[in-house]
Homo-oligomer: A and B are copies of this chain.
């Protein structure tokens, strides 16, 4: 990772870990929350938020830090709940035992609930932003992560297990399940930077491409990656009878679509680079489609 993103990442990780203060009520709950926050995620969503904000308003990324923390908390809670026996029943996540494997099922459910709740607390208490900005961020974040967003997508995903879904449904699933939070990362940066409508639309379009790139890459890695590099079981889509870009289209066609979205995303960044320094977003885009885990 380049120096600029590394700096954002280091500051972010420090802020994230400091965000769960001990309540002295029950240390197990907070340990369980921190376990999954610490479990070595790539932090692509917070980095995307901070890098976009840093591009729009150089050196003002601190203003996005609490929102980035909130975003990672929501992503993390969704992984904890998705891994539960009643959902995907996964034992490994990022090379470590999943939350319920370590803390038991009921504490994993509650840790997820607490992380989701904490996310909104972080934004509501962020005194570096005006109340208007905080309210706009919370409105966007709750929409992106709720029944019309991420949770809706996860529901569609679970309903589609063992079904041969058409490509259009698969796109609906991922537009919501993974796309909504990636889109929020960029949307949040434009809210904080008060970006004009035109540039906001370009950036949201960029985020849409990123979301699809992320998912096709995910499907390719699940099929052709290794458990070692991935830190979780490969072939789990097959085991759960899930339709993916790869099972629906085959490897070659999936890679062709991936390349098309990469080209479209690069084109948007080329336009933005006439006004802004897009180095970090160029780098993140590469990270999305070249990642091996």
Q: Give A residues with C-beta under 8 Å from B.
A: 20, 23, 25-26, 28-30, 33, 77-78, 81, 84, 86-87, 104-107, 109-110, 112-114, 116-118, 120-121, 123-125, 130-132, 134-135, 138-139, 141-143, 145-148, 151-156, 158-159, 172, 176
- Copies of this chain, complex-wide, total 2
**Which 3 pairs across A and B sit closest by C-beta, in order of nearness?**
A121-B142, A117-B146, A131-B131
Contacts of A138 in B (CB 8 A): 120-121, 123-124, 138
- Given known pairs A87-B106, A124-B139, A130-B131, the reply for A117 and B159 (CB within 8 Å) is no
Contacts of A87 in B (CB 8 A): 106, 109
Bound-state Cα–Cα, A124 to B191, Å: 15
Among A26, A105, A131, which residue has the most Cβ atoms of chain B within 10 A? A26
Partner of A26 from B86, B135, B141, B152 at Cβ < 8 Å: B152
Indicate if the CB atoms of A159 and B113 lie closer than 8 Å: no
Indicate if the CB atoms of A106 and B86 lie closer than 8 Å: yes
Partner of A29 from B106, B117, B151, B172 at Cβ < 8 Å: B151
Contacts of A135 in B (CB 8 A): 124, 131, 134-135
